[in-house]
Amino acid sequence: MNRYYKSALGAIALASASLASAQSVTLYGRVNLSVESQKANGQSISVVQDNRSRWGIKASEDLGGGMSASVQMEAGFFADTGKSKDSSTFWNRRSEVDLNGSFGTLRLGNFFSEAYFATADFVSNHNHDTGTSSDAFYAYIGNNANKVAYRLPTLVQGLSIEVSDSVKETGSTNTYDLAVNYTNGGLNLGLGHEKAGAADQTAVRVFYVLGDFGIGGYWQHDKNAWSVSGGRSNLRFSAMYTLGSSEFHVNLGSAGKVGDLANSSAKQWTLAYNYNLSKRTKVYAFYTNVDDGAAKVYGGDFRSLALGMRHNF
Protein backbone atom coordinates (compact mmCIF):
# COMPACT_ATOMS: atom_id res chain seq x y z
CA MET A 1 0.00 0.00 0.00
CA ASN A 2 2.84 2.36 0.85
CA ARG A 3 4.30 1.72 -2.57
CA TYR A 4 0.89 2.48 -4.15
CA TYR A 5 0.51 5.76 -2.27
CA LYS A 6 4.04 6.77 -3.16
CA SER A 7 3.30 6.11 -6.83
CA ALA A 8 0.02 8.07 -6.61
CA LEU A 9 1.71 11.00 -4.88
CA GLY A 10 4.44 10.96 -7.47
CA ALA A 11 1.86 11.06 -10.28
CA ILE A 12 0.06 14.00 -8.64
CA ALA A 13 3.32 15.90 -8.20
CA LEU A 14 4.26 15.25 -11.83
CA ALA A 15 0.83 16.42 -13.03
CA SER A 16 1.07 19.57 -10.87
CA ALA A 17 4.52 20.37 -12.25
CA SER A 18 3.25 19.85 -15.80
CA LEU A 19 0.25 22.17 -15.15
CA ALA A 20 2.46 24.85 -13.61
CA SER A 21 4.74 24.78 -16.63
CA ALA A 22 1.75 25.19 -18.96
CA GLN A 23 0.30 28.14 -17.04
CA SER A 24 1.80 31.59 -16.48
CA VAL A 25 0.69 34.10 -13.84
CA THR A 26 1.83 37.73 -13.81
CA LEU A 27 1.35 40.45 -11.20
CA TYR A 28 1.54 43.95 -12.71
CA GLY A 29 0.64 47.54 -11.95
CA ARG A 30 1.36 51.23 -12.12
CA VAL A 31 1.79 53.94 -9.49
CA ASN A 32 1.50 57.41 -11.00
CA LEU A 33 1.49 60.51 -8.78
CA SER A 34 2.01 64.23 -9.34
CA VAL A 35 2.26 67.36 -7.24
CA GLU A 36 0.09 70.05 -8.84
CA SER A 37 -0.87 73.67 -8.53
CA GLN A 38 -4.42 73.73 -9.87
CA LYS A 39 -6.96 76.45 -10.59
CA ALA A 40 -10.58 75.50 -11.29
CA ASN A 41 -13.34 78.07 -11.88
CA GLY A 42 -11.32 80.80 -10.17
CA GLN A 43 -10.28 78.78 -7.09
CA SER A 44 -6.63 77.74 -6.58
CA ILE A 45 -5.39 74.69 -4.70
CA SER A 46 -2.20 72.59 -4.34
CA VAL A 47 -2.67 68.81 -4.38
CA VAL A 48 -0.93 65.46 -4.61
CA GLN A 49 -2.78 64.00 -7.59
CA ASP A 50 -3.29 60.33 -8.36
CA ASN A 51 -3.16 59.56 -12.09
CA ARG A 52 -5.07 56.28 -12.40
CA SER A 53 -2.76 54.07 -10.39
CA ARG A 54 -3.68 50.40 -10.66
CA TRP A 55 -2.63 46.83 -10.05
CA GLY A 56 -3.72 43.56 -11.59
CA ILE A 57 -3.19 39.87 -12.23
CA LYS A 58 -2.89 38.09 -15.57
CA ALA A 59 -2.91 34.33 -16.06
CA SER A 60 -2.85 32.19 -19.18
CA GLU A 61 -2.86 28.48 -19.92
CA ASP A 62 -1.84 26.64 -23.08
CA LEU A 63 -4.71 24.27 -23.96
CA GLY A 64 -2.89 22.66 -26.88
CA GLY A 65 -3.88 22.60 -30.52
CA GLY A 66 -3.16 26.32 -30.87
CA MET A 67 -5.72 27.24 -28.19
CA SER A 68 -5.20 29.05 -24.89
CA ALA A 69 -7.31 30.41 -22.05
CA SER A 70 -6.52 33.59 -20.12
CA VAL A 71 -7.92 35.76 -17.36
CA GLN A 72 -7.18 39.32 -16.28
CA MET A 73 -8.34 41.18 -13.16
CA GLU A 74 -7.45 44.82 -12.55
CA ALA A 75 -8.26 47.26 -9.75
CA GLY A 76 -7.70 51.01 -9.58
CA PHE A 77 -6.70 52.77 -6.39
CA PHE A 78 -5.79 56.25 -5.15
CA ALA A 79 -2.03 56.09 -4.61
CA ASP A 80 -2.08 59.44 -2.78
CA THR A 81 -4.32 58.03 -0.01
CA GLY A 82 -4.16 54.25 -0.51
CA LYS A 83 -7.95 54.06 -0.81
CA SER A 84 -9.79 51.84 -3.25
CA LYS A 85 -11.06 53.54 -6.38
CA ASP A 86 -14.52 52.06 -5.93
CA SER A 87 -15.60 50.73 -2.54
CA SER A 88 -18.48 48.74 -4.08
CA THR A 89 -16.50 47.07 -6.90
CA PHE A 90 -13.09 45.58 -6.14
CA TRP A 91 -12.02 44.70 -9.72
CA ASN A 92 -13.32 48.06 -10.93
CA ARG A 93 -11.14 48.33 -14.04
CA ARG A 94 -11.22 44.83 -15.50
CA SER A 95 -12.33 41.26 -14.81
CA GLU A 96 -12.49 38.98 -17.82
CA VAL A 97 -11.90 35.46 -19.12
CA ASP A 98 -10.78 34.86 -22.72
CA LEU A 99 -10.54 31.92 -25.09
CA ASN A 100 -7.94 32.31 -27.86
CA GLY A 101 -7.29 30.28 -30.99
CA SER A 102 -7.11 30.28 -34.77
CA PHE A 103 -10.77 31.36 -34.72
CA GLY A 104 -9.84 34.63 -32.95
CA THR A 105 -10.54 35.63 -29.34
CA LEU A 106 -13.74 35.41 -27.31
CA ARG A 107 -13.87 37.74 -24.27
CA LEU A 108 -16.39 37.69 -21.41
CA GLY A 109 -16.61 40.02 -18.41
CA ASN A 110 -15.89 43.64 -17.51
CA PHE A 111 -13.42 45.65 -19.62
CA PHE A 112 -12.87 49.01 -21.30
CA SER A 113 -14.12 50.06 -24.73
CA GLU A 114 -11.75 49.06 -27.51
CA ALA A 115 -13.16 51.96 -29.55
CA TYR A 116 -11.52 54.28 -27.01
CA PHE A 117 -8.15 52.48 -27.22
CA ALA A 118 -8.27 52.64 -31.02
CA THR A 119 -8.63 56.43 -31.06
CA ALA A 120 -8.31 58.76 -28.05
CA ASP A 121 -6.00 56.63 -25.90
CA PHE A 122 -3.62 55.98 -28.79
CA VAL A 123 -2.79 59.64 -29.38
CA SER A 124 -2.60 60.71 -25.70
CA ASN A 125 1.08 59.92 -25.30
CA HIS A 126 2.51 62.16 -22.58
CA ASN A 127 0.72 60.68 -19.53
CA HIS A 128 -1.31 57.86 -21.08
CA ASP A 129 -4.55 59.88 -20.99
CA THR A 130 -4.59 59.96 -17.18
CA GLY A 131 -5.00 62.60 -14.50
CA THR A 132 -5.76 66.28 -14.93
CA SER A 133 -4.10 66.53 -18.34
CA SER A 134 -6.21 63.74 -19.84
CA ASP A 135 -8.47 64.34 -22.82
CA ALA A 136 -11.40 66.40 -21.48
CA PHE A 137 -13.52 66.17 -24.63
CA TYR A 138 -13.62 62.53 -25.76
CA ALA A 139 -17.17 61.15 -25.53
CA TYR A 140 -16.93 57.73 -23.84
CA ILE A 141 -20.28 56.02 -24.24
CA GLY A 142 -21.62 52.88 -22.72
CA ASN A 143 -21.13 50.26 -20.09
CA ASN A 144 -17.99 48.18 -19.42
CA ALA A 145 -19.80 45.46 -17.44
CA ASN A 146 -21.58 42.30 -18.63
CA LYS A 147 -19.68 42.42 -21.90
CA VAL A 148 -19.27 39.84 -24.66
CA ALA A 149 -16.60 40.60 -27.27
CA TYR A 150 -15.13 38.85 -30.28
CA ARG A 151 -11.78 39.71 -31.86
CA LEU A 152 -11.41 38.41 -35.39
CA PRO A 153 -8.32 36.42 -36.36
CA THR A 154 -5.67 38.30 -38.36
CA LEU A 155 -7.06 38.57 -41.89
CA VAL A 156 -4.51 41.09 -43.17
CA GLN A 157 -1.11 41.73 -41.64
CA GLY A 158 -1.34 44.69 -39.24
CA LEU A 159 -5.16 44.68 -39.14
CA SER A 160 -7.25 43.89 -36.03
CA ILE A 161 -11.04 44.08 -35.66
CA GLU A 162 -13.10 43.64 -32.49
CA VAL A 163 -16.83 43.90 -31.79
CA SER A 164 -18.58 43.77 -28.42
CA ASP A 165 -21.97 44.01 -26.76
CA SER A 166 -22.62 44.93 -23.13
CA VAL A 167 -25.64 42.73 -22.51
CA LYS A 168 -28.79 44.46 -21.33
CA GLU A 169 -29.71 43.63 -17.75
CA THR A 170 -32.14 45.18 -15.26
CA GLY A 171 -31.95 48.97 -15.41
CA SER A 172 -29.38 49.07 -18.20
CA THR A 173 -29.20 49.18 -21.98
CA ASN A 174 -27.10 47.34 -24.54
CA THR A 175 -23.88 49.06 -25.56
CA TYR A 176 -22.35 48.17 -28.92
CA ASP A 177 -18.67 48.70 -29.64
CA LEU A 178 -16.57 48.38 -32.80
CA ALA A 179 -12.81 48.92 -32.99
CA VAL A 180 -10.54 48.65 -36.04
CA ASN A 181 -6.75 49.13 -35.91
CA TYR A 182 -4.28 49.03 -38.78
CA THR A 183 -0.48 49.40 -38.61
CA ASN A 184 1.92 49.51 -41.54
CA GLY A 185 5.43 50.64 -40.64
CA GLY A 186 5.13 54.08 -39.04
CA LEU A 187 1.52 54.55 -40.15
CA ASN A 188 -1.13 53.83 -37.50
CA LEU A 189 -4.85 54.06 -38.28
CA GLY A 190 -7.85 53.51 -36.03
CA LEU A 191 -11.64 53.55 -36.11
CA GLY A 192 -13.96 53.39 -33.11
CA HIS A 193 -17.75 53.33 -32.88
CA GLU A 194 -20.07 52.98 -29.87
CA LYS A 195 -23.83 53.07 -29.46
CA ALA A 196 -25.86 53.02 -26.24
CA GLY A 197 -29.56 53.79 -26.62
CA ALA A 198 -29.97 57.27 -28.11
CA ALA A 199 -26.27 58.08 -27.68
CA ASP A 200 -23.60 57.17 -30.20
CA GLN A 201 -20.11 58.22 -31.26
CA THR A 202 -17.73 57.55 -34.14
CA ALA A 203 -14.05 58.50 -34.18
CA VAL A 204 -11.17 58.03 -36.63
CA ARG A 205 -7.47 58.25 -35.77
CA VAL A 206 -4.29 58.81 -37.79
CA PHE A 207 -0.84 58.77 -36.19
CA TYR A 208 2.50 58.59 -37.97
CA VAL A 209 5.88 57.81 -36.42
CA LEU A 210 9.04 58.76 -38.32
CA GLY A 211 12.20 58.12 -36.35
CA ASP A 212 12.11 60.29 -33.24
CA PHE A 213 8.99 62.19 -34.35
CA GLY A 214 5.35 61.23 -33.89
CA ILE A 215 2.40 63.28 -35.10
CA GLY A 216 -1.33 62.74 -35.58
CA GLY A 217 -4.70 62.95 -33.89
CA TYR A 218 -8.32 61.91 -34.06
CA TRP A 219 -11.69 63.34 -35.08
CA GLN A 220 -14.89 62.36 -33.29
CA HIS A 221 -18.56 63.02 -33.88
CA ASP A 222 -21.04 62.13 -31.15
CA LYS A 223 -24.75 62.52 -30.50
CA ASN A 224 -26.53 62.80 -27.14
CA ALA A 225 -23.31 61.93 -25.33
CA TRP A 226 -23.31 64.80 -22.84
CA SER A 227 -25.73 66.33 -20.35
CA VAL A 228 -27.55 68.13 -23.17
CA SER A 229 -29.09 66.65 -26.32
CA GLY A 230 -27.56 67.15 -29.73
CA GLY A 231 -24.58 66.40 -31.90
CA ARG A 232 -21.02 67.63 -31.54
CA SER A 233 -17.62 67.26 -33.23
CA ASN A 234 -14.31 67.00 -31.40
CA LEU A 235 -10.81 67.30 -32.87
CA ARG A 236 -7.57 66.33 -31.12
CA PHE A 237 -3.97 66.90 -32.29
CA SER A 238 -0.90 65.29 -30.71
CA ALA A 239 2.82 65.52 -31.44
CA MET A 240 5.92 64.17 -29.71
CA TYR A 241 9.69 64.24 -30.14
CA THR A 242 12.14 61.95 -28.36
CA LEU A 243 15.76 62.89 -27.69
CA GLY A 244 17.62 60.20 -25.81
CA SER A 245 15.76 59.68 -22.53
CA SER A 246 13.73 62.88 -23.01
CA GLU A 247 10.29 63.25 -24.55
CA PHE A 248 8.65 66.52 -25.60
CA HIS A 249 4.86 66.56 -26.07
CA VAL A 250 2.20 68.90 -27.43
CA ASN A 251 -1.51 68.06 -27.19
CA LEU A 252 -4.32 70.30 -28.52
CA GLY A 253 -8.07 69.70 -28.42
CA SER A 254 -11.07 71.58 -29.76
CA ALA A 255 -14.70 70.67 -29.01
CA GLY A 256 -17.45 72.18 -31.11
CA LYS A 257 -20.88 73.45 -30.09
CA VAL A 258 -23.16 70.79 -28.56
CA GLY A 259 -26.44 70.78 -30.44
CA ASP A 260 -28.11 74.19 -30.16
CA LEU A 261 -26.57 75.03 -26.79
CA ALA A 262 -24.97 78.48 -26.91
CA ASN A 263 -21.40 78.95 -25.62
CA SER A 264 -20.80 75.20 -25.40
CA SER A 265 -17.59 74.98 -27.45
CA ALA A 266 -14.27 74.54 -25.62
CA LYS A 267 -10.51 74.21 -26.11
CA GLN A 268 -7.72 72.37 -24.30
CA TRP A 269 -3.96 72.46 -24.65
CA THR A 270 -1.11 70.70 -22.87
CA LEU A 271 2.68 71.05 -23.00
CA ALA A 272 4.63 68.21 -21.37
CA TYR A 273 8.14 66.90 -20.79
CA ASN A 274 9.01 63.33 -19.77
CA TYR A 275 12.39 61.97 -18.70
CA ASN A 276 12.74 58.19 -18.70
CA LEU A 277 14.96 57.02 -15.85
CA SER A 278 14.46 53.44 -17.06
CA LYS A 279 11.98 51.42 -19.11
CA ARG A 280 9.69 51.31 -16.07
CA THR A 281 10.24 54.65 -14.33
CA LYS A 282 9.88 58.22 -15.54
CA VAL A 283 9.58 61.72 -14.13
CA TYR A 284 7.56 64.34 -15.93
CA ALA A 285 6.23 67.88 -15.93
CA PHE A 286 3.27 69.41 -17.74
CA TYR A 287 1.05 72.45 -17.98
CA THR A 288 -2.54 71.87 -19.08
CA ASN A 289 -5.36 74.34 -19.67
CA VAL A 290 -9.07 73.81 -20.39
CA ASP A 291 -10.90 76.89 -21.68
CA ASP A 292 -14.54 75.86 -21.26
CA GLY A 293 -17.48 77.79 -22.68
CA ALA A 294 -19.98 79.63 -20.51
CA ALA A 295 -22.29 76.58 -20.70
CA LYS A 296 -19.64 74.58 -18.77
CA VAL A 297 -20.33 71.29 -20.52
CA TYR A 298 -16.90 70.04 -19.38
CA GLY A 299 -16.97 71.27 -15.79
CA GLY A 300 -15.69 74.80 -16.31
CA ASP A 301 -12.26 76.38 -16.82
CA PHE A 302 -9.31 74.47 -15.43
CA ARG A 303 -5.54 74.67 -15.46
CA SER A 304 -2.71 72.85 -13.71
CA LEU A 305 1.08 72.97 -13.43
CA ALA A 306 2.41 69.56 -12.41
CA LEU A 307 5.55 67.60 -11.52
CA GLY A 308 5.13 63.85 -11.39
CA MET A 309 6.63 60.38 -11.28
CA ARG A 310 5.36 57.10 -12.67
CA HIS A 311 6.59 53.55 -12.08
CA ASN A 312 5.32 50.43 -13.84
CA PHE A 313 5.82 46.95 -12.43
**Residue 16 belongs to a domain:** no
Q: pLDDT tens, 22-65?
A: 689 999 999 999 999 999 988 999 999 999 999 999 999 999 99
- Counted domains in the chain: 1
**Residue 100 belongs to a domain:** yes
Q: pLDDT tens, 95-118?
A: 999 999 999 999 999 999 999 999
**Residue 299 belongs to a domain:** yes
Single pTM value for the model: 0.89
Q: How far, rounded to the nearest angstrom, does the alpha carbon of residue 7 sit from its chain's CA centroid?
A: 50
**Residue 11 belongs to a domain:** no
**Residue 294 belongs to a domain:** yes
**Residue 219 belongs to a domain:** yes
CATH number of the domain residue 209 falls in: 2.40.160.10
Looking at residue 310, its pLDDT comes to 98
**Residue 7 belongs to a domain:** no
**Residue 193 belongs to a domain:** yes
Question: Can you spell out the DSSP letters for 191-228?
Answer: EEEEEETTEEEEEEEEEEEETTEEEEEEEEEEES-SSS
Question: Can you spell out the DSSP letters for 11-24?
Answer: HHHHHHHHHHHHEE
For residues 282 and 227, which has the higher predicted lDDT (pLDDT)?
A: 282
Looking at residue 258, its pLDDT comes to 97
Domain containing 172 equals: 24-312
